[in-house]
Amino acid sequence: MTPVDQMLGWPAFELSAALDAGAITSLDLTRAYLARIQGLNPRLNAYLCVLPEMALQAAENAALRASQGRRLGPLDGMPIAVKDNIDVKGVPTTAGMDCRRSPPAGEDAQAVRLLRASGAVILGKTNMDEAAMGGTSDNPFFGRTHHPLKHGYTPGGSSGGSAAAVAANLCAAALGTDTLGSLRIPASYCGVAALKPTFGLVSTRGVCPLCHRLDHVGPIARAIEDLQLILDVIGRYDPACPDARAAPADLERPQIKPLAACTIGTLRNLEEVAAEPAVRAAYAAALGVLASLGCRVQSVDLQDYDPAAARRSGLLCGEADAANTHAAFLGESPPSLSREVRALISYGRDVSGARLARAHRHLDLIAFEFRALLRSVDVVVTATTPQAAFPFDQPVPGTQGDMTALANISGCPALTIPMGTDPAGLPLGLQFIGRAHAEATLFAIAGAFLKAAGTKHPLPDT
Amino acid sequence: MTPVDQMLGWPAFELSAALDAGAITSLDLTRAYLARIQGLNPRLNAYLCVLPEMALQAAENAALRASQGRRLGPLDGMPIAVKDNIDVKGVPTTAGMDCRRSPPAGEDAQAVRLLRASGAVILGKTNMDEAAMGGTSDNPFFGRTHHPLKHGYTPGGSSGGSAAAVAANLCAAALGTDTLGSLRIPASYCGVAALKPTFGLVSTRGVCPLCHRLDHVGPIARAIEDLQLILDVIGRYDPACPDARAAPADLERPQIKPLAACTIGTLRNLEEVAAEPAVRAAYAAALGVLASLGCRVQSVDLQDYDPAAARRSGLLCGEADAANTHAAFLGESPPSLSREVRALISYGRDVSGARLARAHRHLDLIAFEFRALLRSVDVVVTATTPQAAFPFDQPVPGTQGDMTALANISGCPALTIPMGTDPAGLPLGLQFIGRAHAEATLFAIAGAFLKAAGTKHPLPDT
């Protein structure tokens, strides 16, 4: 094992310091990740497509800049993976769909463009649920991504390839997308951190859409500092993105309060979701840590909020949008969509207008009520998922997205960090949801929590 | 004719000066409007319901305050009419629907509450199209409202009762609603002024909804100064209104530029809508006046914008929302909805999810493109309607809302003012559409235009 090999599990911000110091070059780092991918990916299947030429060329450029003392910033030379529903120029964006194996994307997605402009190295494209419709990364065409700690277990989804790649140290960080929890669920299962930013803060231009009002792009990483570094680069109002509803003036981030002045809400409605005992215990312990930090922890209630009903409304809006996005594939014979995804999308296509209008209004009202609730507390804390990762041969729990959907529906930012493990050693996640554009508050609270709790992501068996 | 009778056609801001000076009392004014309503309304049918007791009580209170030198503001004692889809406590809100003749509303709508709190006198509720679905105020249950200048002609709709009441001097000003043009179309036809404010600026709480994403409440008056006075009172962010998407910080209004620094866009797409020759001629003359004021007038283009297709998408979203709002009445036997409205709402109920999702996305993209266009010009100017008022026995032109829908779809504020008359003496309207929360810019440009052009609202035959 070379010194670089021992660094592959470092957080990106520490890798950046090593690049700054000249201890390693981006070329060393990129080669080492590529070698590790070559060794582990056949069994893990986190990457659908590795881009060694493109990556090595970018790494060489970054190494040259570093050698001349002109690194572009902390992400210069940083090897990053990209979920396969986000365009990388010259490579097909499959979105996990058989029917999208070609053509190659003509342009980078805006988030990828910004990453590259900051010097990041794109290592490859990661596996996901077909059409991002699922939470297991058990893809009927591209195979399963396995959990890095336990083969045969799901890493979660739909950004499961990205989360597994980060957890298995196959990249420094990754991009994923999140419509009802697709960044946070796999990050929680895999023991890493992820941020779903405020709606509109990160451009969705160049991303294969699932549900226009709920889709978000965000980072997955081993440390919250890394999430912040990536957000600093990709969190730019994009005047050419129709989903960016906020005007530039809205993007001023609220000031951070001292931790002791923060009120943290626990949401009764989500505490009532059936969760595994280990999740309940870890969550209770986490609340204790938060209280020990001087935060006021207070139970709040979102009147009439039913997580399962909310999730179903969100799913329905996504199914109807998907019926238009994938219209060309719906009628194909022989079908190229899986039976399951075809059934979901056909349902959205054929559902009555009144039912769909009801679902949209349902989401509007939830967003309204939740944003109102966030005037009384600074942050809401929940478990990220009600369960740890589970074997592929077990039925998928319907509650997977019950904790996460609220942040998509409301557009509020949500951060997941590791919250220890269950008795089997499988990671659990803790979620903080904040006010629009209050990402900095989430980072501050989560940072203090991690310092106090000492929770880290469990290292995979290599 | 008493001196007060001669003042009934004054703009509200001049009436307010007279109330301030003690030249008249609110009781005089209210009694005079009530008497004029009694005389003219049987033929005009602008009011569905007059509220003399409530009005006289409020007027008495206002008169007392005025006599003690403590008027609450310029609207204190001002007699105002309210469209019958806006709740006034104790009176049914019919929304022009047979099935809603009872029960009485339990509370005032938020806009009515704010008006009353500023001392305004509510005279009564005005006629409208059934369920606000139309532009003629030809109501199958409550009868037609006639054009104040020409019996047998439509005053426009759906706020036709409000516009006719203002134009016929049956109130000092009125509230109406606007989903695709329902304030501006009747104001244009009747030769008065109306403002559709920025989406969310005026609360829709207590208003019978048509289309959640397009509905707006706004004022109709004889002078733009009056619109401003009313907006100052009702344009308050309502944290209890789910349709108010803007956070309070967004409500800061952009600064007004000097007129000579303003760029006014003429929208090619709307200039291509088939318009009557008199409308074209008056519009061309209006552009000349604007240029003479030192404004730069510049042709702009909203790529791929098809006004008719946009209107249809807006209508479809409204029909689907209406299917939920009026679900209880859809299945009734015998039906209490008219055949026409039942057909519209049933269409929205039964349309496919994919089609409805497409309509919503269509509106999203139009809003996005139009807001982007408003970065290159300060204001867009159009004729308000492509035609003057027409006889009830003529077919309704499909283009009625082609000029107005864009402001609903984008949420941008839009102001209509008189633009002279056609050869038959029927009024025409000029519309200014501005950036979100730039109402002040619209008032400034329209004010300068009116001063230069000398356009006034034509007096009705009394």
What is the per-residue pLDDT across B279-293, written as a single tens digit (0 to 9) for each?
Answer: 999 999 999 999 999
What does the alpha-carbon distance between residue A443 and residue B203 come to, in Å, rounded to a whole number?
35
What does the alpha-carbon distance between residue A311 and residue A439 come to, in Å, rounded to a whole number?
24
| Average predicted confidence (pLDDT) for chain B | 95
Q: Which two tokens stand for residue B67?
A: 């006599």
Check A324 against B354: CB less than 8 A apart: yes
Residue whose tokens read 């277990």: A153
pLDDT in tens, B233-243: 999 989 899 88
Query: Mean per-residue pLDDT for B365-379?
Result: 95
Q: Whole-angstrom distance between the N-terminal and C-terminal Cα of chain B? A: 12
| Average predicted confidence (pLDDT) for chain A | 95
Query: Mean per-residue pLDDT for B375-395?
Result: 97
Q: Which two tokens stand for residue B45?
A: 């049918």
Closest CA to B303 of B242, B366, B348, B256: B366
Q: What is the pLDDT of residue B243?
A: 82
Non-local (6+) Cβ contacts of A394 within 8 A are none
B441 neighbors B435 (Cβ within 8 angstroms): yes
pLDDT in tens, B297-317: 999 999 889 999 999 999 999
What's the gap in Å between the CA of B246 and the closest CA on chain A? 10
In this model, does residue B153 exceed pLDDT 50?
yes
**CA A386 to mean position of chain CA atoms:** 17
Q: Which two tokens stand for residue A72?
A: 């572009």
Q: What is the pLDDT of residue B97?
A: 98
Facing residue for B352 by CB, picked from A249, A250, A350? A350
Query: Mean per-residue pLDDT for B179-197?
Result: 98
Q: Which residues of A touch B200 (CB under 8 A)?
A: none
Residue of B nearest to A245 (CA): B368
* Rounded alpha-carbon distances, angstroms, from residue A446 to A52, A259, B39, B328, B429: 35, 10, 71, 48, 57
Q: Which residues of A touch B312 (CB under 8 A)?
A: none
What does the alpha-carbon distance between residue A27 and residue B69 come to, in Å, rounded to a whole number?
81
Q: Which two tokens stand for residue B283?
A: 């519009």
In this model, does residue B250 exceed pLDDT 60?
no
- Could you say which DSSP state residue B252 is in? P
What's the gap in Å between the CA of A211 and the closest CA on chain B? 10
A265 neighbors A434 (Cβ within 8 angstroms): no
Closest CA to B415 of B144, B209, B236, B216: B216
Residue of B nearest to A321 (CA): B357
* Rounded alpha-carbon distances, angstroms, from residue B384 to A18, A237, B120, B229, B436: 64, 33, 29, 22, 19
- What amino acid occupies position A118? S
Query: Mean per-residue pLDDT for B261-266?
Result: 94
Q: What 3-state class would DSSP assign to B207?
A: strand
What are the DSSP E strand ranges found in B273-351?
296-300
What's the gap in Å between the CA of A302 and the closest CA on chain B? 15
What is the DSSP code string of B24-87? Answer: S-HHHHHHHHHHHHHHHHHHH--EEEE-HHHHHHHHHHHHHHHHTT---STTTT-EEEEETTB-
What does the alpha-carbon distance between residue B219 and residue B414 come to, in Å, rounded to a whole number?
12
**CA A455 to mean position of chain CA atoms:** 19
Q: Which residues of A touch B320 (CB under 8 A)?
A: 353-354, 356-357
Catalogue the active-site residues of A: 83, 158, 182
Residue of A nearest to B321 (CA): A357
Closest CA to B108 of B58, B171, B40, B33: B58
Facing residue for A354 by CB, picked from B212, B348, B354? B348
pLDDT in tens, A349-359: 999 999 999 99
Cα torsion B313, B314, B317, B320: sign: negative
Q: What is the pLDDT of residue B455?
A: 66
Q: Which residues of A touch B409 (CB under 8 A)?
A: none
Cα torsion A41, A47, A48, A52: sign: negative
Q: Which two tokens stand for residue B417?
A: 């003012």
How is domain B5-251 classified at the CATH fold level? Amidase signature (AS) enzymes (3.90.1300)
> Could you tell me the pTM of the whole model?
0.94
In this model, does residue A55 exceed pLDDT 50?
yes
B157 neighbors B182 (Cβ within 8 angstroms): yes
3-state secondary structure chain A: CCCCHHHCCCCHHHHHHHHHHCCCCHHHHHHHHHHHHHHHHHHHCCEEEECHHHHHHHHHHHHHHHHCCCCCCCCCCCEEEEECCECCCCCECCCCCHHHCCCECCCCCHHHHHHHHCCCEEEEEECCCHHHCCCCCEECCCEECCECCECCECCCCCCHHHHHHHHCCCCCEEEEEECCCCCHHHHHHHCCEEEECCCCCCCCCCECCCCCCCCEEEEEECCHHHHHHHHHHHCCCCCCCCCCCCCHHHHCCCCCCCHHHCEEEEEHHHHCCCCCHHHHHHHHHHHHHHHHCCCEEEEECCCCCCHHHHHHHHHHHHHHHHHHHCHHHHCCCCCCCCHHHHHHHHHHHHCEHHHHHHHHHHHHHHHHHHHHHCCCCCEEEEECCCCCCCECCCCCCCCCCCCCHHHHHHCCCEEEEEEEECCCCCEEEEEEEECCCCHHHHHHHHHHHHHHHCCCCCCCCC
Buried b (16+ CB within 10 A) or exposed e, A113-134: bbbbebbbbbbbbbbbbbbbbb
What does the alpha-carbon distance between residue B32 and residue B30 come to, in Å, rounded to a whole number?
5
What's the gap in Å between the CA of A157 and the closest CA on chain B? 25
Closest CA to B203 of B108, B78, B122, B129: B108
Query: Mean per-residue pLDDT for A411-415?
Result: 97
What does the alpha-carbon distance between residue A125 and residue A146 come to, in Å, rounded to a whole number?
16
Q: State what percent of residues in chain A have pLDDT above 90.
A: 91
Check B361 against A249: CB less than 8 A apart: no
Q: What is the pLDDT of residue B461?
A: 44
Q: Which two tokens stand for residue A292?
A: 């020990």
pLDDT in tens, A290-322: 999 999 999 999 988 999 999 999 999 999 999
B287 neighbors B266 (Cβ within 8 angstroms): yes
Q: Which residues of B touch A325 (CB under 8 A)?
A: none
What is chain A's length? 462
What does the alpha-carbon distance between residue A32 and residue A37 come to, in Å, rounded to a whole number?
9
Within 10 angstroms of residue A1's Cβ, the number of other Cβ atoms is 8
Q: What is the pLDDT of residue A458?
A: 59
Non-local (6+) Cβ contacts of B42 within 8 A are none
What's the gap in Å between the CA of B212 and the closest CA on chain A? 8
What does the alpha-carbon distance between residue A215 and residue A83 come to, in Å, rounded to a whole number?
14
Q: What 3-state class would DSSP assign to B275?
A: coil
Q: Whole-angstrom distance between the N-terminal and C-terminal Cα of chain A? A: 12
What are the DSSP E strand ranges found in B343-407?
379-383
pLDDT in tens, B59-117: 999 999 999 999 999 999 999 999 999 999 999 999 999 999 999 999 999 999 999 99
In this model, does residue A37 exceed pLDDT 90?
yes
* DSSP bridge partners of A195: A415
Please calculate the CA angle A450-A451-A452 and round it to the nearest 5 degrees.
Answer: 90
Q: State what percent of residues in chain B have pLDDT above 70.
A: 96
Facing residue for A349 by CB, picked from B321, B327, B353? B353
Q: What 3-state class would DSSP assign to B209?
A: coil
In this model, does residue A63 exceed pLDDT 70?
yes
Q: Which residues of A touch B (CB under 8 A)?
A: 212, 239, 242, 247, 249-250, 316-317, 319-321, 323-324, 327, 347-358, 360-361, 364-365, 368, 372, 375, 436
Q: What is the pLDDT of residue B112?
A: 98
**CA B125 to mean position of chain CA atoms:** 14
Residue of B nearest to A247 (CA): B250
Sheet-wide strand order for A263-267: A47-50, A121-126, A79-83, A173-178, A216-221, A193-196, A414-421, A427-434, A379-383, A263-267, A296-300
Residue whose tokens read 């509106």: B363
Q: Which residues of B touch A212 (CB under 8 A)?
A: 361, 364
Q: Which helix (H) or strand (E) holds B318?
A: helix B307-325
Q: Which two tokens stand for residue B319?
A: 């029909």
Q: What is the pLDDT of residue B462?
A: 43
Q: What 3-state class would DSSP assign to B173?
A: strand
Closest CA to A192 of A172, A177, A216, A217: A172
Closest CA to A36 of A13, A76, A7: A7
Check B357 against A321: CB less than 8 A apart: yes
pLDDT in tens, A18-33: 999 999 999 999 999 9
In this model, does residue B359 exceed pLDDT 90?
yes
Query: Mean per-residue pLDDT for B389-399?
Result: 97
Alpha carbons within 13 A on the beta-carbon side of B7? 22
Check B324 against A239: CB less than 8 A apart: no
